[in-house]
Structures are given as C-alpha cells and as structure tokens.
Amino acid sequence: MRKPILLRKGIYWVGAVDWNLRSFHGYSTPRGSTYNAYLVVDDKITLIDTVKEPFADEMLERISAVIDPSRIDILISNHVEMDHSGAIGRIADLNPDVEIYSSVAGARGLAAHFDSSGWNLKTVKSGDSLNLGGKNLTFYQTPMVHWPDNMVEYMPEEKILFSNDSFGQHFANSLVVDRGYPRDIVLDEAKKYYGNIVLPYSPQVRKELEAVSGLPIGMIAPSHGVVWEKYLQEIIGRYEDWSAGCTVGKAVIVYDTMWGSTEKMAKALVSLFSEEDLEVRLFRLEDSHVSDVMTDVVDADFVCVGSPTLNNRMTAGTAGFLEYLTGLAPKGRKALSFGSYGWGGQSIPLIAKALAEAGFEVLDEKKINYRPSPGQLEEWLEEVRKKIR
Ligand code: FEO
C-alpha cells in the first residue's frame, strides 16, 4: 500500500509520483515529476490541491491510510491547471458538501474545465484566513505565477508556505523532503523549472516574494518535487536572484551546423568567452533539448545563436529554439547572431531580428562565406571582444 508521508504533526503529503513523465508541454523531464497534495487533519479536515486525474487512486490510497477521504471538509484549489485540479471531482463525488476554496479566477477556471455545477465553490482573496481548528491558513493571490488563478497559503502554526507551482521541480522522488537528495540536483531541477515555466513571470514572482517576505518560513511545500526544508534558504535565495534577472558571468552558445562551418564559429566563441573568464555552455541543437538550454539561459549574460543558411532561412531547429526563447522572455541579456553560408546568408539577419524582437540587445551579427579561415575567425573574435567588454 502506498503510504502518506508525515511532514508535521497532522500534516501529510498525500500526492502521487509520476516516475515515467518525460515531457511536460515540451519541457523534457528526465527525472519524472510528482503531483503534491497535502492533507491537514484538524477539526476541519483539509486537502490542499489534488493530482493529475490518472493518479487520483494513488492519492486516495494515501489519504485512506490516514482518514476516510469522504470526511474531507475543505479542499483548497490553488491552481486550475489539471495536474493539480484533475482529482477534485473524485473528492466532490465522495463528499458533495466539501467546501472548495479558490481565487475568483480559479473558480471561473474550475467551472470552465469541469462539470462543477454541483460543487460547493467558495472564493478567497489575499489576506483572507481560514481557521481549521488548531491551525490556520492565510491566502495570498499570486496571479500569473503562472496562470491568472494561482494562489498560495501560509500556515503560521507550522511556518509552512504551500506554494503551488512556485518553488517546484519536476523531480520524481519517494522521500518527499529535500534532505534525502543531493542539494545540487534538486536546486538544478528547480532552476530548470524556473527557466521553462516561471521565467516570463519574474515580476510576479517578485511580488510573491515581497508578500511573504515578513513571514517566518520553516518549510515550503510546492506542488511538484521535493518539499524544501534543509535547503530552504538556498532556494529562497535562488528565487530572489532568478526573479531579479541576476547573471553569473556566463555565455550560452547555441547552434546548428550542416558541414561544420557554423560549428567552427561556435567553438571560436567558446575560446573567446573563456579567455574573458566567463563560464561557457555550448549546445548543438540537434543533440540538445531546448529546455536544457533554457536552464542555462536563466543566469546567462550572453546568448549566442548560430545557424547556417538553409533554403534561404535558418534551420528549423534554430527557429524552434528562438520561438521557445521568445516565449520565455528573459530580460536584460545581450546576444550575438552568427553563421556560415554558401549564398544568400539570410539566416544571420533573421536570427538577429528574432533575438531583438525577443528583447535582447544584439551586439553583433556575423556571416562568413563557406568555411571560416583562422584569419577570418581571429578578425571576428577581435570585433566581438570589443563589444562584450
Ligand atoms: Fe503544475 Fe501550472 O501546474
């Protein structure tokens, strides 16, 4: 029998583990994920979020190890996205009187996604509190982190922030609390999650951090991945840095190549940035996943994108990457466009245009006809050196 995990007296993780998830809306998830739900056993028995619908039985099995799920009085829906709301109907079927709390936008979203006509929906706003008996929950709306409906809640008695998608990671695990895992692995997965889901909403994350900044937090319980306790200060510090757009002295070089000429240019940039004492990350798009590139873009100063010219355009892989990058909208970064061409050379200005439209300051665009000679590369690097300093 799958067991709940006790986090604090009367507070259990009762979620589900999706060991085999390998893609979340195109974001590669080689370590799978979890859908976290939390059960609070108090005078009012409360469930915070649910799980993706196919995992409802797993959640109910865990809840049943503590109490009869039909005894749940309150269900809090922090976020309408179906990886968290997918099993609300199962709880409502067991107890039609269960009070389902969400934000106003959340109630609208639940009504749009589900047949919620028989549900006992109630709405809360920032600052509202719910007394469960011995414990309380105070709500904070966090719109656009990362849907309009998101909210989080704080339990002062246990100093727990139930943060929904914020602070999450796609990281399947069996121990639930962070102390069971190497710090760098869970922080890296949190960074990948930030770069691929949260990044466009960094201003809203700043507001969330401000809203909870005065609260003594001893645990953050997100809706994916591990619960933060041991590495709490580290993850809060990372969220401060990532949401502020802090960079670490790093260049990300992304390219496609047909016969190795654009690759020569990409590798020349590696030497240049290394000589300038910057950390460098190089990705050949054919062999890399765009979501891994984005993990490194989170704190990069420079993003350099190269493609040969193919059929008067850039390669499809480069275009796909630029489309993904534009949606995730990193702010305040500098960029370079480069590539080799046989005739035409349209890919290089097209890349520069896409980067500028994505909000980058494009420092340089360089096209080299056919194979770059050592002299051409040296001359180009000298130009770039002046521009990046
Ligand atoms: Fe994990 Fe936005 O759902």
For the stretch 60-74, pLDDT in tens is: 999 999 999 999 999
Atom of ligand 1 at shortest range from CA of 223: 1
Q: Is the CB of 149 under 6 A from ligand 1?
A: no
Quote the pLDDT of residue 143: 93
* Residue 1 pLDDT: 76
Atom 2, ligand 1: residue with shortest CA distance? 81
Q: Which atom of ligand 1 is nearest to the CA of 224?
A: 1
Ligand 1 atom closest to 35 (CA): 1
Tokens of 174: 């069996």
Q: Indicate if ligand 1 lies below 6 Å from the C-beta of 224.
A: yes
CB-based contacts of 127: which residues, under 8 Å, 6+ apart? 138, 139, 140
Assigned token pair, 124: 């809360």
In the reported structure, the alpha carbon of residue 196 is separated from the centroid of ligand 1 by a whole-number distance in angstroms of 12
pLDDT along the chain (389 residues), means of 10: 94 98 96 98 98 98 98 98 98 98 97 95 97 98 94 98 97 97 98 97 95 95 98 97 98 98 98 98 98 98 98 98 97 97 97 98 98 98 97
Find out whether 12 and 38 touch, Cβ atoms under 8 Å: yes
Whether the Cβ atoms of residue 35 and residue 16 lie closer than 8 Å to each other: yes
Beta strands 120-123 and 99-102, pairing class: parallel
223 Cβ closer than 6 Å to some ligand 1 atom: yes
> Ligand 1 in contact with 256 (CB < 6 A)?
no
198-202 long-range contacts (CB < 8 A, ≥24 apart) are: 198/145, 198/146, 198/165, 198/166, 198/242, 199/242, 199/294, 199/298, 199/328, 199/329, 199/330, 200/146, 200/327, 200/328, 200/329, 201/144, 201/145, 201/146, 202/242, 202/243, 202/244, 202/245, 202/331
Answer yes or no: is the C-beta of 84 below 6 A from any ligand 1 atom. yes
Q: For the segment 307-347, what is each residue's pLDDT rounded down to a tens digit?
A: 999 999 999 999 999 999 999 999 999 999 999 999 999 99
Taking CA atoms only, the protein residue closest to ligand 1 atom 1 is 165
Are the C-beta atoms of 36 and 221 separated by less than 8 Å? yes
CA distance 241 to 298: 10
CA dist list (Å): 234 to 37, 110, 167, 190, 241: 23, 34, 11, 11, 11
- C-alpha of residue 165 to centroid of ligand 1, in Å: 5
Average pLDDT, the chain: 97
Regarding the beta carbon of 79 and ligand 1, being less than 6 Å apart is answered yes
81 lines ligand 1 (CB under 6 A): yes
Task: Decide: 71 and 12 in contact? Cβ < 8 Å.
Answer: no
Tokens of residue 89, six digits: 């109907």
Helix (H, G, I), strand (E, B) or coil at 175: coil
92 CA distance to ligand 1 centroid (A)?
21
Q: Which helix (H) or strand (E) holds 5?
A: strand 5-8
Q: Calculate ∠ Cα 21-113-98, nearest 5°.
A: 95
Q: How far is the CA of 134 from the centre of ligand 1 (A)?
A: 30
CB atoms under 10 Å from CB of 174, counted, come to 10
Q: Is the CB of 296 under 6 A from ligand 1?
A: no
What is the 78 CA–ligand 1 centroid distance (Å)? 10
The answer, yes or no, to whether the previous bond of 146 is cis (omega within 30 of 0) is yes
Closest CA to 322 of 292, 355, 289: 355
CA separation for the pair 82, 50 (Å, rounded): 9
R_g (Cα) of the chain, nearest Å: 24
Nearest to 350 by CA among 32, 358, 186, 342: 358
Ligand 1 centroid from CA 77, angstroms: 12
CA angle 78, 83, 88 (to 5 degrees): 65
Whether this prediction's pTM lies above 0.95 is answered by: yes
Residue 332 has, within 13 A of its CA and on its CB side, a CA count of 12
372 contacts 259 by C-beta, under 8 angstroms: no
Atom of ligand 1 nearest to the CA of 147: 2
The sheet that has 11-13: what strands, in order across it? 5-8, 11-13, 38-40, 46-48, 74-76, 99-102, 120-123
Residues 122-163 pLDDT 10s: 999 999 999 999 999 999 999 999 999 999 999 999 999 999
Would the CB of 18 count as within 6 Å of ligand 1? Answer: no
For the annotated catalytic residues, the residue numbers are 25, 79, 81, 83, 146, 165, 193, 224
Taking CA atoms only, the protein residue closest to ligand 1 atom 3 is 81
Pocket flag, ligand 1, residue 165 (CB < 6 Å): yes
Q: How far is the CA of 353 from the centre of ligand 1 (A)?
A: 32
Contact between 314 and 351 (Cβ < 8 Å): yes
